Amino acid sequence: MPLNSIDFSRRTQPADLPERMDQPCSREELRACLRDLAWINRVLLGYRPTFHWLDHLRLKRFHQPIRILDVGCGGGDMLRRIARWAAARGIPVELTGLDINVDCIAIASETTGASIPIHWAAGDLFSYVFAAPPHLLISSLVAHHLADAELVRFLRWMEQNAAIGWFINDLSRAPIPYHLLGLVARILRLHPLVQHDGPVSIARAFHADDWQRLCAEAGLRENDVTIRAWIPARLSVARSKA
């Protein structure tokens, strides 16, 4: 699908508009790409929705280490930030990062080092065996990589396996951020994969009614989840059970 023919009224499926990050590439190329993506997330406040949800949960009241699994953890920047966030609040946590890409896990592990106790695991989430059931499942910028049918399965999996709740932090589909992100990535000479995949990610992203439909197909009731827009160009889906 040509990038200049995007219909923003509907979600473009991943099979119709592939991301280059989803194709084979060298570990060095992936490392550089993940570094630029982490920078974009930091500058554009991409971590804020997840931490707003974590604050809302008041995790200290559970009086036990909170097991958090990050699905599709990439280079691990979210979990490293969660480790610092939890330490600053005196909240004991057990953190696990899961990614299907073994290179992502290797990069996350070497970037984190031994100073921050995070367990990294490579594998498919649907066949992953938990050492202990997670309290919280989080996912950041993973959902737009999945086709609708896969997303429904993903939502069911999260609902089944998260004891306290789950949170999806992803992009909002709109023409302005689509064009602006591509322009900024080129001006700043970010990694070529980021220049291409940034706009593609937004084209494959969501409106609130997409999430309402997908959650309903997964068997979730309307009042089970909270769908919220964040500036700039973020859309989150939150589920709190406790």
Query: Domain containing 120 — which CATH number?
Result: 3.40.50.150
CA distance 49 to 164: 17
pTM: 0.95
Mean pLDDT across 104-132? 93
Q: At what angle do helices 102-112 and 77-89 cross, to 10 degrees?
A: 40
Give SS3 for 66.
strand
Q: Which two tokens stand for residue 80?
A: 């490293």
Terminal-residue alpha carbon distance, the chain? 43
**For residue 124, is it within any domain?**
yes
CA 145 vs CA 22, 154, 189: distances in Å: 8, 12, 24
Query: Out of 24-28, 166-170, 231-235, which region has the weakest mean confidence (pLDDT)?
Result: 24-28
CA 242 vs CA 190, 230, 237: distances in Å: 41, 24, 16
**For residue 128, is it within any domain?**
yes
**How sure is the predictor about 4, in pLDDT bands with cuts at 50, 70 and 90?**
low
pLDDT score at 2:
47
**For residue 183, is it within any domain?**
no
**For residue 182, is it within any domain?**
no
CB atoms within 10 A of CB 27: 13
**For residue 186, is it within any domain?**
no
94's CB contacts (< 8 A; 6+ apart) are: 65, 66, 67, 68, 119, 132
Half-sphere exposure of 238 (CA within 13 A, CB side): 19
> Which domain does 83 fall in, by range?
45-171+207-240
pLDDT score at 194:
93
**For residue 191, is it within any domain?**
no
How many domains in the chain?
Answer: 1
List, edge to edge, every strand of the sheet that includes 66-71: 118-122, 93-99, 66-71, 136-140, 165-171, 234-240, 226-230
> Each residue of 140-183: pLDDT tens digit?
999 999 999 999 999 999 999 999 999 999 999 999 999 999 99
Mean pLDDT across 93-99? 98
**For residue 122, is it within any domain?**
yes
**For residue 154, is it within any domain?**
yes
